[in-house]
Structures are given as C-alpha cells and as structure tokens.
Amino acid sequence: MDQFGTNPFVPGMNSSLFVPDQLIAGTLQLVTDSVTITGGPYKRGTVLGVITASGKYTHCVKTATDGSETPLAILVDDVDASTSDQIGGVYLMGEFNQNYVTIDNSWTIADMKVSLRPLAIFLRDSIQAPVTTA
C-alpha cells in the first residue's frame, strides 16, 4: 500500500563512498571563485592564467605573451571549454599536491612553485616532511 503525505516514512538506507583524488595537500584554507574559462578541455588541477585582453582563464603556458603566462589559479573541476567559454571554479589559495596538478611542459614544478607562492598557492610533494636540524 502506497502512502502519500507531507512527510512519508520510507525505510531503507543509502550510502556513498568519498574517494579523494589527493589534489588537496594540506589544511590551509581553500579560497575559490567562479571565472570564465576558454580554450579547451581542462582537467581538475590544471594551472590557469588570465588572458589580459578578455579576462578569461586558460591553460598557463610559460611562453605565452597574452598574459596567460602568469599562473593565477588552479581549476576545481573538469571543464570543457573547447567549443564555447564556460563558467568554472578555481582555487585562488590553498596547498596542493604537485603530483596531481596539471602544468604545461613549458614549466617545471620548481618554477611553478616559485610563481604560485606569492598568491598563497603552495605546491607540495605528498611525501614532504618537515626539515629538522641537529
């Protein structure tokens, strides 16, 4: 017999399993924003720069000359902007696993770390340990 009402009781249980992808690498507060993304399909963790003329975010390439050569953010989720611009989330601050970010081949991880540090975006190796002195 079906029951209808404003608050029907339906016995049962659902569960979900959260499996982190290990992009986030620390407890530093994450700061996000929504931006316009252009230029291609990008995966979560892609480092983005901003095209000066349009203000749109795109893959950060060190040899670019349109402003996007300066890394400014890390993509929150996959975005396909290959056929039209899309709105997507970006991280503006946080600690990220350097093994899970996507950077262009024109960059090295060492150079990217230095470039992102003033923005309070820190790339860390998942096996880094505090340095102790004897």
Domain locations in the chain?
31-124
Neighbours of 34 (CB within 10 A): 10
Measure the CA–CA gap between 91 and 110, rounded to whole angstroms.
20
Walking along the chain (134 residues) 10 residues at a time, the average pLDDT comes out as 56 64 89 96 97 97 96 97 96 95 96 96 76 56
Q: Which two tokens stand for residue 29?
A: 């507060």
User: What's the pLDDT at 11?
Assistant: 60
DSSP state letter for 109? H
As assigned by CATH, the class of the 31-124 domain is mainly beta
